[in-house]
Structure 1
Amino acid sequence: MAVLFRAYFASAYGGYVRKTKSGVPVNAIHGFVRYLTDAVRTYEPTHVAVCWDMSSKTFRTERYAAYKGNRPEAPDDLIPQFDLVKEVVEALDVPNIGVLGYEADDCIGTLARKYGGEMDVLILTGDHDLLQLVSERVKVVMLKKGFGNYAVYDREALLAEKQLTPPQVIDLKGLIGDSSDNYPGVKGIGEKTAIKLLSEYETIEGILANLDALSASVKKKIEADLDMLHLCRELATIYCEVPLTCEIDACRWAPDPERVGAKFEELEFRGLLKDIV
């Protein structure tokens, strides 16, 4: 979903929204396909799956009603593309995966954990929350501005750039919150202070075990927001045991040119067909 939204806003910022001759908006889908096919050409995966958010209501909104409550409604011309993009993914013979009550991130985490022990996994996203999933065989391919521009994060790159281990990505969000997801963290604790604390004490538990060693102001802030600290860490944690079904053989990347061609012809994506066949 992060990729679809990125594709929409990257192409609609000037006010023009690509539509078919019959008036169906397709700009987000067109951009999504370009992102997907460029990544496939670049990294040559043997298997591909796409995960989607299914609803704004998840187990996180049950825990914290304000979770993502600050996000505006999707633009009117993006809404019909939510279902249509899944038809395109299906035409590529790629599984659409989503489970009510969970976010796409949770489905991605579940698949990464399930298959990351037996094969290399690349997670294509624009969402930095997924950096917590980095492991020995799981890397995050972060979309940067423009097509074909990526930053690949393994453990070493994550530590070098952000001074964090994958589990510390979660603890950082517990401390500072996430404005885009609308949870606050510990009031008055910023990213610089949080990274310094995690560098010294490794985990939130380590920080709490050493409260008396902290400055009086930092100690006071943490003690005042202790419940929120734990809640925010919970909200930030990707759940990796979603009850989903996705057999690896169903994910093999082998699009049927005729099936893809028919769907692309319908959406007037003729120029993209060369990226598939």
Structure 2
Amino acid sequence: MNKKLFLIDAYPLIYQSYYAYRYKPLFTSKGLNTSPIINFTYFLMKTLNDEKPSYMATVFDDNKGSSFRKKEYDKYKAHRKKTPEAIYMAIPYIIKILKTFQISFFYAPNGYEADDFIGTIAKEAENKGYIIYIITLDKDFFQLITENIKVYIPPFKGKAKRILGIEEIKKKFGVNHPKQVIDLWSMMGDPSDNIPGLPGIGKKNATKFIKKYGSIEKLLNSTHDLNGKIKKNIEKNKNLGLLSKKLITIVTNIPFFSFHEEKFYVKKPDWHSIKKIFGELEFIRLLKKAHEYFKFKTKE
């Protein structure tokens, strides 16, 4: 029987939690904004309760250095707003919460992003017989989906969780395999990360080209089939398309990493530490929910 490994892509969930309360932020009596923390914590608890994972880890970006993508293309993610101060303030508390629930956490190595580290962990674990669930709100992970690697989209705004596999991605994007979403986005670009793609190529044409050619390289080698403005734009911007593919592709072989399952093993949450940190954050309802979920034996 295959073992299951759950990998949490931390920052998208933290951002989602923060913006869910952007019109009515939550503060403790001492003025700490707990908006970025509360949904993340609830989701962590619910996942532990519902899925009962034996192996799990949370991965963060290392914001101290820039990734190789920024060096390749200085406009990469250049349009994004500065991270809200409340999120920076929340991270140490989220780390404490992960520790109280005895969930391993990692920072992506310098020069790489959390996506790359998660991709590397997932591929190594898959090679060792695991089924991997990547818990994220980031569509970039669709490219990693295989028979044994799934994308787990957490419940949000009243919607139930969704687990996406090969068939769901093929249907959603009109591709033959999830890896082809890399080529699809390389052609049409990705505004969320400020990736240019091929100018003038939208979703309709990109989907048509994927069906006909299968990859951006084969498209670029077949421009003699095209005509008019599209032909001109593609031929003029070949290098931009290939650069886009490099930026979009998640690295799955970060050097010097080896998967050791004991580092991902989930232990029983520490009730006394939970009480302490939840008390500090004034998470009264979540404390009751934690007691309900994990059936702590206490004298209280």
What is the 5 A alignment of 1:69-88? 69-88=78-97
Query: For residue 283 of structure 2, what is the aligned residue in structure 1?
Result: 269
Query: For residue 39 of structure 2, what is the aligned residue in structure 1?
Result: 31
Contact map agreement 2:125 2:259 (CA 8 A) in 1: no
Q: Secondary structure at the match of 2:135?
A: strand
Shift of 1:91: 2.0
Q: Residue type matched to 2:238 in 1?
A: L
- Report the more deviating stretch, 220-229 or 95-104: 95-104
Shift of 1:100: 2.2
Q: Secondary structure at the match of 2:74?
A: coil
- Report the more deviating stretch, 253-262 or 197-206: 253-262
Q: In 2 relative to 1, CA 126–93 (structure 1 residues): closer, same or farther, beyond 3 Å? A: same
How many residues end up aligned between the 2 structures?
Answer: 275
TM-score after normalising by structure 1 = 0.92
Q: Secondary structure at the match of 1:122?
A: strand
Query: For residue 143 of structure 2, what is the aligned residue in structure 1?
Result: 132
Residue 123 in 1 paired to residue 131 in 2?
A: no
TM-score after normalising by structure 2 = 0.85
Measured in 2, the distance between the counterparts of 1:249 and 1:259 equals: 22
Measured in 1, the distance between the counterparts of 2:111 and 2:72 equals: 12
Q: Residue type matched to 1:258 in 2?
A: H
**Aligned sequence identity (%):** 29
- Report the more deviating stretch, 75-84 or 55-64: 75-84
What is the 5 A alignment of 1:85-96? 85-96=94-105
Measured in 2, the distance between the counterparts of 1:187 and 1:227 equals: 12
Measured in 2, the distance between the counterparts of 1:3 and 1:202 equals: 33
Shift of 1:246: 5.7
Q: Secondary structure at the match of 1:212?
A: helix
Measured in 1, the distance between the counterparts of 2:189 and 2:101 equals: 38
Measured in 1, the distance between the counterparts of 2:157 and 2:261 equals: 31
Contact map agreement 1:35 1:148 (CA 8 A) in 2: no
Query: For residue 104 of structure 1, what is the aligned residue in structure 2?
Result: 114
Residue from 46, 49, 68 that aligns with 1:59: 68
Residue from 173, 183, 204 that aligns with 1:162: 173
Shift of 1:208: 2.3
Residue from 21, 27, 31 that aligns with 1:19: 27
Query: Deviation string for 1:246-271 (max 9, x for gaps)?
Result: 63223222222233232222222232
Shift of 1:236: 0.3
Q: Secondary structure at the match of 1:19?
A: coil
What is the 5 A alignment of 1:104-253? 104-117=114-127, 118-143=129-154, 145-146=156-157, 149-164=160-175, 165-242=177-254, 243-244=256-257, 247-253=260-266
Measured in 2, the distance between the counterparts of 1:28 and 1:193 equals: 39
- Report the more deviating stretch, 205-214 or 192-201: 205-214
Shift of 1:125: 0.6
Query: Deviation string for 1:57-99 (max 9, x for gaps)?
Result: 1111111111111111122322211232122212211111112
Shift of 1:136: 1.4
Shift of 1:52: 0.7
Q: Secondary structure at the match of 2:130?
A: coil
Gaps of 5+ in 2: 1-10, 295-300
Shift of 1:148: 5.8
Measured in 2, the distance between the counterparts of 1:197 and 1:215 equals: 14
Shift of 1:174: 1.1
Contact map agreement 2:124 2:258 (CA 8 A) in 1: no
Contact map agreement 1:176 1:187 (CA 8 A) in 2: yes
Contact map agreement 2:28 2:282 (CA 8 A) in 1: yes
Gaps of 5+ in 1: none
RMSD of equivalent CA atoms: 1.9
Contact map agreement 2:36 2:87 (CA 8 A) in 1: yes
Contact map agreement 1:133 1:166 (CA 8 A) in 2: yes
Q: Residue type matched to 1:259 in 2?
A: S
Query: Deviation string for 1:115-163 (max 9, x for gaps)?
Result: 1231111011100001011011000012463256222211111111221
Residue 48 in 1 paired to residue 56 in 2?
A: yes
Q: In 2 relative to 1, CA 209–49 (structure 1 residues): closer, same or farther, beyond 3 Å? A: same
Measured in 2, the distance between the counterparts of 1:111 and 1:198 equals: 29
Q: Residue type matched to 2:225 in 1?
A: A
Shift of 1:245: 6.1
Q: Residue type matched to 1:120 in 2?
A: I
